[in-house]
């Protein structure tokens, strides 16, 4: 767990010709199964047939980023945003790539743009917090994670991440409370490994204070 950007952004589907829709959907299904190379072939074919298919660019960017091909992913998300400057998911996903590359300021700019368009995007708010945390601004990160859990009170990752920010701020007891909240949410959702990670943070803090 920890400082990886949330990737729970809906994959977009296309609405052009039947063949294009089927090919994009086929690529999406391959991505969901982890067959990103196969997905890339499908999205490449769609783009070759229709260079204006925004959803093919977006989903190809997602596949590239999943393969660690970050420069290609950035290029695809940027094209998607040129085709639709209001595409929140493209800003969030491009921000995720920048975050992976350690380009925190660019990530912050993309997340802020996404939130300007949709202030209720909990994923963007959480990831903005991660970018602020990584750039050495735990106070701003705390605010971001708080906004995220206000949008989605069952967002375990945002509670966990706020716990990390609180630790950086020296707020040990509040951090423990957030780790416990994250663990409770994850336990309820059946995410046992995530819950164990949060509980391990609590155990480590308690042992360190003995």
Task: Write out pLDDT tens, residues 114-163.
Answer: 999 999 999 999 999 999 999 999 999 999 999 999 999 999 999 999 99
pLDDT tens per residue across span 95-115: 999 999 999 999 999 999 999
165 vs 10 pLDDT, higher one:
165
32 domain-assigned: yes
Q: Judge contact between 205 and 175, C-beta under 8 A.
A: yes
pTM of the predicted model as reported, rounded to 2 decimal places: 0.88
For residue 7, pLDDT over 60 is answered with: no
Percent helix, percent strand, percent coil in the chain, to nearest 5: 75, 0, 25
50 domain-assigned: yes
194 domain-assigned: yes
Say which residues have a Cβ less than 8 Å from residue 184's Cβ, sequence separation at least 6. 195
**Neighbour tally for 93: CB within 10 Å:** 28
109 domain-assigned: yes
**Neighbour tally for 181: CB within 10 Å:** 20
pLDDT at residue number 3: 55
Tell me how many domains the chain contains.
1
Q: CATH number of the domain that 178 lies in? A: 1.25.40.10
Among 56, 62, 61, 48, residue whose Cα is nearest residue 25: 56
- State the residue range of the domain holding 79: 18-208
For residue 31, pLDDT over 60 is answered with: yes
């Amino acid at each position: 767990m920890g400082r990886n950007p949330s990737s729970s952004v809906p994959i977009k589907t296309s609405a052009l010709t039947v063949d294009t829709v089927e090919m994009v959907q086929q690529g999406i299904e391959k991505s969901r199964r982890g067959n990103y190379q196969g997905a890339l072939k499908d999205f490449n074919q769609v783009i070759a047939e229709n260079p204006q298919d925004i959803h093919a660019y977006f989903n190809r960017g997602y596949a590239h980023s999943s393969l660690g091909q970050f420069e290609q992913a950035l290029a695809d998300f940027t094209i998607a945003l040129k085709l639709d400057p209001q595409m929140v998911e493209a800003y969030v996903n491009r921000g995720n790539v920048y975050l992976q590359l350690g380009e925190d300021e660019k990530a912050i700019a993309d997340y802020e743009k996404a939130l300007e368009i949709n202030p209720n995007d909990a994923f963007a708010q959480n990831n903005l917090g991660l970018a602020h945390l990584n750039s050495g601004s735990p106070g701003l990160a705390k605010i971001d994670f708080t906004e995220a859990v206000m949008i989605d009170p069952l967002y375990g990752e945002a509670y966990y991440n706020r716990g990390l920010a609180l630790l950086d701020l020296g707020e040990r007891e509040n951090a423990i409370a957030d780790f416990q909240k994250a663990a409770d949410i994850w336990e309820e959702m059946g995410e046992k490994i995530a819950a164990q990670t949060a509980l391990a943070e609590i155990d480590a803090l308690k042992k360190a204070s003995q």
